[in-house]
Chains A and B, each alone.
Chain A
Amino acid sequence: MRRVISLATHAERAFSSRVSALQKPTPSTSSSVPDRATLEKGTVQPTVLKPFVSASLQHEDLFNFEKLVHVDEMFKARIHYGHKVGTVNNNMKWALYGERLGVCLFDLDITKQYLVRALNFVAHVSMRGGMILFVTSNRDTMFDVEKAAEEVGQYSHVRKWQSGTLTNTRQLLGASVRLPDAVCFLSTLTSLGENHPAIIEAAKMAIPTIGVVDSNSDPAYLTYLVPANDDTPQSTEYLLRMFKEAVRRGQDERKRLQQGK
């Protein structure tokens, strides 16, 4: 968990360098640039860098997703269903409410909290003109994911993952290209129950990831977790609607900022 926070803080720290020009400087900080000693300390204890992060990133829910995400809607979209009790991953027990008829159930209050955090991150990336890659290996929902990514002008990958797609673009594409700024996994497991190979590649390239993790998924190496059902078309449809809305809000904000200048 600490690792997750540190990665996220670093990502936010990076954004702030540019955004700080747009925002009013925070009164608590004496200068907008940390000195060398603080930076060195920050590699061990990232929270000391928090005062230097811009005001827009200090906000827990800048785009007001608390109002967008409703527990009853999530319930109707069957977000709360996990897998059979026997398949539960030890590292996913924190997100569970309990079990019914041998099936794990997610605590939708926890899910909401994490979903809002993930949506906030997506909207921030989108506001800064970042590229988001939507990834899934689920055959039932692959076309929906592709469609959703196309609608908001982002990228999708729902096919066989060629190893080195992120780590070895030079060889594979003949030229180095700009990598996505965030990778969003709508399901983290392949059909064989193994972790999606893109998770490790994104971690190697220090690309922050958002992962919809079911009760049998492994949350390791994912930056932002969304504990939810990832197998049902209805739940994926709901989550895609949320992510699309987050990207749109970020894009609108970006447009507003550009016109305001």
Chain B
Amino acid sequence: MLRIAFSRTCRSMSIASPSSVSESDTSVRKIGKALETYLKNSQQHVAMMEKHRTEFETGRRHLAKMMSLDIHELDQEAIDRAIQYLFPSGLTDPNARPVMRPPDEILPKFQRFTFDEEGKPEGTRFFTLNPKIYGLMSEIGVKTQSVMKFYDEHVGSRSVNRNDLEPANLSGSQWITADKIKKKLSEKFSNELYGQVIIAFEHLASLPGSAIEQKFLSEFREPMTASTGSKLFGPAIPEVQICAESNKRYAEVTTHCKDTRATVRVTDAGKGKYNIDGLQLHDFRHLQAREILLAPMIISQTLGRFDVAATTSCISNSLPEAPNREPLRRSGGMSALPRAVRHGAALCIAALHPESTESLRLSGLLTLDPRKNERSKVNQPGARAKWIWKRR
């Protein structure tokens, strides 16, 4: 044990002793085995990347020739198009499809540490293993303390703006995802640490007086709709528009359920009125229909705030007619028509009232119901039903 102590301390101290500073030419040999290995790995990585880069460049030239394009015209978009054309893939996951991108973008990055000439790692939190994310947490902690102090000093006094003593206004946005923080800090960390950071942020944002840190907080926020818009099945959340006559915000979307197509328009600052092909809510006699129609407002807690206007039509009617046959008219129905209107209304409310987007999405109201009436089969009375079989 003691011998180890002796040799280890000797080694590390020999790096650090003042006398080694003057011998800068031999410093690389003196910085110890640890750093030597690190430098070797680093050089290997650089060589490997260089090799892949030249390979990529050669491949690009070949591709340009194959596609009979000029090499200068072949930018990344053109490469993607060419790869899609040459290797058509039906795989649904985009990550499983063939790609051709510069190696710097797709190959794993080498963990780079910065050392000074004495082999000391850079950064005061280096030994926490996650210096950047812990640095962020400390920054939040220090800001939390300063916000509390600011509030205690200025509460009740008129020397500061009253708005500064309120909690920060974060409506319509959410905390950025773990992936985005990782990209921002260029550091990997566990989900547990992400949870801790979000708890720290939530606590800071909830404090009265956190408005003075609004700018810092909004760096780590993103608009709410942007995140869910792409994931939805069916029509996306529409854009909010402003009515030229009444100067009210509204959103409009077209959707369908079974054979019913509904164009729904929800207007903000209304009185909770319904106008579905001229019918109001109480014209629907079935309680199920009323419940379906009210569901988005109940979920988003906006009963009586929005006006809903909808027109419905039959999808089969708009299809080309089959020869010798009248088109089937099966639109409407006790639940299909209200469900079509419900989906459209929920999408519009998500646009007009972004705070409730997440709850609407979780309750499944933003998802299209793609089910259709199953066609009846030839020589059968229905879709599945068969004629009664009789021996003779």
Interface residues of chain A, those whose CB is within 8 Å of chain B, are 6-7, 10-11, 13-15, 17-19, 21-22, 43, 128-131, 133, 142-143, 146, 149-150, 153-159, 162, 165-166, 172-181, 205-206, 254, 257-258, 261
Question: What residues of chain B lie closer than 8 Å to A131, measured between beta carbons?
Answer: 120
Which of A156, A159, A257 has the most CB atoms of chain B within a 10 A radius of its CB? A159
Q: Which of B4-12, B67-75, B168-176, B363-371 contacts A (4 or more CB under 8 A)?
A: B4-12
Contact B17 A156 (CB under 8 A): no
Stretch from B18-26, B51-59, B318-326 contacting the other chain: B18-26
Q: Give complex CA distance A22, B22 in Å.
A: 13
Interface stretch of the complex, out of B28-36, B303-311, B373-381: B28-36
Given contacts A143-B138, A172-B129, contact A130 B5 (CB under 8 A): no
Residues facing A in B324-344 (CB within 8 A) are none
Chain A residues near B119: list those with CB within 8 A: 178
Chain A positions within 8 Å of B13 at CB level: 14-15, 17-18, 128, 130, 181
Q: Contact at A175–B134, with CB atoms within 8 Å?
A: no
Instruction: Check A143/B145 contact, CB under 8 A, given A11-B9, A178-B34, A205-B8.
Output: yes
- Assess A176 versus B33: contact at CB under 8 Å? Given A7-B5, A181-B9, A205-B8: yes
A63 to B350, CA, bound (A): 69
- Counting from the closest, the 4 A-B pairs by CB-CB distance are A206-B5, A18-B17, A129-B16, A176-B34
> Contact partner of A146 among B8, B14, B138, CB < 8 A?
B138
Interface pair B8/A178, CB less than 8 Å apart: no
Measuring CB to CB, which residues of chain B are less than 8 angstroms from any residue of chain A?
Answer: 1-6, 8-10, 12-19, 21-22, 32-35, 37-38, 41, 111, 113, 115, 118-121, 124-129, 134, 137-138, 141-142, 145
| Chain B residues in 8 Å Cβ range of A165 | 127, 129
Q: A129-B16, A143-B145, A181-B9 are in contact. Are A175 and B128 (CB under 8 A)?
A: no
Docked CA distance A254–B118 (Å): 14
Instruction: Determine if B127 and A17 form an interchain contact, defined as CB atoms under 8 angstroms apart.
Output: no
Q: State the Cβ distance, A133 to closest chain B Cβ, in Å.
A: 6
- Given A14-B13, A18-B13, A128-B17, decide whether A143 and B141 contact each other with a Cβ distance below 8 A: yes
A166 to B128, CA, bound (A): 10
Assuming the A-B contacts A162-B129, A206-B4, are A10 and B145 also in contact, with contact meaning beta carbons closer than 8 angstroms in the complex? no
For B110, the closest partner residue in chain A by CB is A174
Closest CB of chain B to A199's CB: distance in Å? 15
Question: What is the CB-to-nearest-CB distance from B23 to chain A, in angstroms, rounded to a whole number?
Answer: 11
Inter-chain contacts of A13 with B (CB < 8 A)? 6
B38 touches A175 (CB 8 A): yes
Contact A175–B113 (Cβ < 8 Å): yes
A150 contacts across to B, CB distance below 8 A: 124
Nearest-CB residue, chain A, relative to B15: A178
Given the interface pairs A143-B142, A156-B124, A206-B8, the reply to whether A129 lies near B17 with Cβ below 8 Å is: yes
Neighbouring A residues of B125 by C-beta, 8 Å: 146, 155-157
Q: What are 16 inter-chain pairs, A to B, with CB distance below 8 A?
A: A22-B19, A128-B17, A129-B15, A129-B118, A131-B120, A150-B124, A157-B127, A162-B129, A173-B113, A177-B35, A177-B113, A178-B120, A181-B9, A206-B4, A206-B5, A261-B19
User: Is A177 a contact partner of B121 (Cβ separation < 8 A)?
Assistant: yes
- Docked complex Cα distance between A177 and B18 (Å): 20
Q: Are A149 and B38 in contact (CB under 8 A)?
A: no
Residue of B4, B34, B121, B129 contacting most chain A CB atoms (<10 Å): B129
Complex interface: chain B residues within 8 A of A178 (CB): 12, 15, 32, 34-35, 115, 119-121
B181 to chain A: closest CB distance in Å? 17
Q: Which of B14, B34, B138, B142 lies in contact with A175, CB distance below 8 A?
A: B34
Q: How far is the CA of A81 from the CA of B33 in the complex (A)?
A: 46
Shortest Cβ distance from residue A213 to the other chain B in the assembled complex, whole angstroms: 22
A173 to B33, CA, bound (A): 15
